[in-house]
């Protein structure tokens, strides 16, 4: 955990820089539960298109994964760090 802090802080910093696109909102919602794309749109201030873009970005950077219709963290330790 101590060694991973720099990595997690880097991901969080990138999300803060991209704050207008909703990455922080999505990361925070997903630390509590696995959610579908529609659930994320309903539980955030984002449109479905914005949610799609955020999810694709976070998947591309291996922060999130899509599994059985739900989005969740790729690494459980990252979810715990955000929480």
What pLDDT does 18 receive? 59
Supply 32's token pair. Answer: 């509590």
What pLDDT does 19 receive? 56
| Rounded-to-integer distance, Cα 59 and Cα 39, Å | 17
Continuous segment of H or E residues that includes residue 48: helix 48-60
What pLDDT does 37 receive? 97
Q: What is the mean pLDDT of residues 41-65?
A: 93
The three-state secondary structure class of 43 is helix
Predicted TM-score (pTM) of this structure: 0.78
| Rounded-to-integer distance, Cα 68 and Cα 59, Å | 15
What pLDDT does 21 receive? 75
What pLDDT does 6 receive? 63
Q: Are 31 and 79 in contact (CB under 8 A)?
A: yes
Counting every residue, how long is the chain? 83
CB atoms within 10 A of CB 54: 25
């Amino acid at each position: 955990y101590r060694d991973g802090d720099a990595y997690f802080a880097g991901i969080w910093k990138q999300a803060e820089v991209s704050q207008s696109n909703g990455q922080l909102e999505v990361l925070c919602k997903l630390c509590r539960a696995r959610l579908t794309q529609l659930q994320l749109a309903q539980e955030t201030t984002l449109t479905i298109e914005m949610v799609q873009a955020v999810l694709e970005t976070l998947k591309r950077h291996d922060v999130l994964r899509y599994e059985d219709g739900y989005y969740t963290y790729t690494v459980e330790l990252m979810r715990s760090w955000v929480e």
